[in-house]
Amino acid sequence: MNAIAYCSWNAMESETSAIARGLRRRDPELLDRLIEQYQHRLLRYLVYLTNNRELAEDLFQETWIRVLERGHLYDGRHEFGTWLYAVARNLTIDYLRKKSPVSLDGLMEDEQHAPLEPADTRLAAWKVVEQHEQAERINAALVGIPAEYREAVVLRFQDELALEEIATVTGAPLGTVKSRLYRGLNLLMGRLEGKTA
Amino acid sequence: MSVNDHERARQLIALSGADASGGRTGDARAEGERGWLRVHLQECEECRDYAEAAGGAIRALRTHPMAAGSGLVRATQMRVRARALELRRQRERMWLVGLSCAFVGISAAVTTPLLWQGFAWAGEWMGVSSWVWQAGFTFVWIVPALVASALLVDRGTHLNAANGIGTSLRSNLGGGSAEQD
């Protein structure tokens, strides 16, 4: 059991080291691969962080430009995804601070959120409609909760980050992350139940 | 069973992101806590309902698809490649500028004393006072640098291309508030 854990840890370590080396070289093939690998997760995180699909797409591109420019800062000791989310988060906060001096919570008041695009899974039309409705329902529930709770919920339950990784991304203490997650899930459940009722 | 027990159970459920059955283990929950939660859920219907509702909400979240369009991915890849090329060229230019600076510095260190001696000799030969040939030396020594600086200010420097890229990136963000560098 320990040997398996050691092997998988070793594999992860070598993969993150390879990514760190590639980022230092600004390897375009590696960056192409990473963009494809993290496209959905990163965009979803940015959409829920900003509550605005169009802005999230702009920030998606800017995040990868920043990864290219500051890739040498990634040391390979953490998962690349954790570092990527932290870069995206800092960029978003930086952008929003300069645009208007509001905190992340202020994003909630932004009513203009574009409808979310469901993945093309080539389902039957009715299934697509049903999926779209479900997506809208979840989206409406998610955007209704405060941004810091929403971020914790999305990172934990959609992107499946560990609590320590969420703390690294958000720069918040572990206890705060736990509290946000608990409250966020309760609020989300309340809103989902409210919508279905 | 105290109120704290229910609170603790709910917190464990929320942190683990697991269904009441505990199929997926969360990293925040130790083995002992999982066991305690399992026992608590067997005894407490209210918390069992909560666990089911939490499981439902989490499943709904996980089945909620959101895809980046292929156009966005391609555009990003192209922009990243273009920026990488620009950075490489910029680095090459900086390397050339550094090399030129080193060459100029070394040649100035070698030629300045010789030029000074040449001017001193010419001043003596022409019989002019020392401040005249010293002024001549200063003029010859400093004028090329002044001309080059004026031309660079007028035409722009090698860094302008990079600045242009930065500006276009900022303008793509609509208002350009995000800091690039």
Q: Where are the domains of chain B?
A: 3-62, 93-172
The pLDDT value given to residue B65:
67
CATH architecture of A1-114: Orthogonal Bundle (1.10)
| Every domain range in chain A assigned CATH 1.10.10.10 | 115-197
| Every domain range in chain A assigned CATH 1.10.1740.10 | 1-114
Interface predicted TM-score (ipTM) of this complex, two decimals: 0.70
Domain A115-197: which topology? Arc Repressor Mutant, subunit A (1.10.10)
CA atoms within 13 A on the CB side of B136: 16
Of chain A residues 96-125, which have a CB less than 8 A from chain B? 98-99, 116-121
Q: What is the dihedral of CA B76, B78, B80, B84, to 10 degrees?
A: 180
**A169/A153 Cα distance (integer angstroms):** 13
Mean pLDDT of A38-54: 88
**B141/B119 Cα distance (integer angstroms):** 11
Q: What angle do CA B72, A50, A169 make, to 5 degrees?
A: 95
- For the cut 50, the answer to whether the pLDDT of residue B163 exceeds it is no
Closest CA of chain B from A157, distance in Å: 6
Residues from chain B contacting residue A189 (CB–CB below 8 Å): 53-54, 57
- For the cut 60, the answer to whether the pLDDT of residue A107 exceeds it is no
Chain B positions contacting chain A at CB under 8 Å are: 10-11, 14-15, 17, 26-28, 53-54, 56-58, 60-69, 72-73, 75-77, 79-81, 83-84, 87-88, 169, 172-175, 177-181
Helix (H, G, I), strand (E, B) or coil at A52: coil
Q: What is the pLDDT of residues A178-193, one digit of tens each?
A: 999 999 988 988 888 7
